[in-house]
A and B are shown apart, each in its own frame.
Chain A
Amino acid sequence: NAGVTQTPKFRILKIGQSMTLQCTQDMNHNYMYWYRQDPGMGLKLIYYSVGAGITDKGEVPNGYNVSRSTTEDFPLRLELAAPSQTSVYFCASSTQGVGTEAFFGQGTRLTVV
């Protein structure tokens, strides 16, 4: 049972570069989320999706974009990477909204230099 899979696990980007963080889940969950965790801080919601074709902003969406063309995949795009985007990124999914249990991926550690 793979659950939520994120790739890559680690990445170093130069300022101004762009990249896509991949996230896929095999649990047929409608709800998917992207969070970031800065050192010593809790997780903050970047974007979420309630189903294929539907996405919305979370608490900290600036500098990111998402798409949800299928139920399984929810990629996060970083355009023009900045040092402030150095963080650990977690993708998660759930059957309903966040009142129910969310399953998290292992995370992507991103460093922007």
Chain B
Amino acid sequence: DQQVKQNSPSLSVQEGRISILNCDYTNSMFDYFLWYKKYPAEGPTFLISISSIKDKNEDGRFTVFLNKSAKHLSLHIVPSQPGDSAVYFCAATGSGAGSYQLTFGKGTKLSVIP
């Protein structure tokens, strides 16, 4: 039973265009969401996060949007660059018991084409 779903295993985008990566969750107890980026043969690196009290968080070219009623979040990358090519993981956690556990999606592989 996947509590965090990234339904697109892969995404290809032209350099300079917008990349939109989507993530859905089912657990209503989740109240904090993070995006991690992973290059091959490296560990994941933190990209951006959002608390459930917000609906948007922006950091440079990266913006995360949260729609709590739809249990949906998305990561926008504008403009996309070839160095953004990586696997992006959506992760979620709650503030209650077990909040140490980050629940990850399966990831979306982004390819930015020069």
Question: Chain A: residues with CB nearer than 8 A to chain B?
Answer: 4, 31, 33, 40-45, 48, 50, 56, 58-59, 90, 92, 97-99, 101-107
Contact = CB atoms under 8 A, between A and B. Distances in A.
Contacts of A101: 34, 46, 49
Contacts of A58: 100-101
A102 B102 contact: yes
29 contacts: A40-B106, A42-B91, A42-B104, A42-B105, A43-B44, A43-B102, A43-B104, A44-B104, A45-B102, A48-B100, A48-B101, A50-B100, A56-B100, A58-B101, A90-B43, A92-B43, A97-B93, A97-B99, A97-B100, A98-B99, A98-B100, A99-B93, A101-B34, A101-B49, A104-B43, A105-B43, A106-B41, A107-B41, A107-B42
A31 B102 CA distance: 13
Contacts of B100: 31, 33, 45, 48, 50, 56, 58, 97-98
B101 A45 contact: yes
Interface residues of B, number: 25
A104 B4 CA distance: 20
A102 B46 contact: yes
B32 interface: yes
B89 A42 contact: yes
A43 B45 contact: no
Given A48-B100, A59-B101, A98-B99, A42 B106 contact: yes
B28 interface: no
Interface in B75-114: 89, 91, 93, 95, 99-107
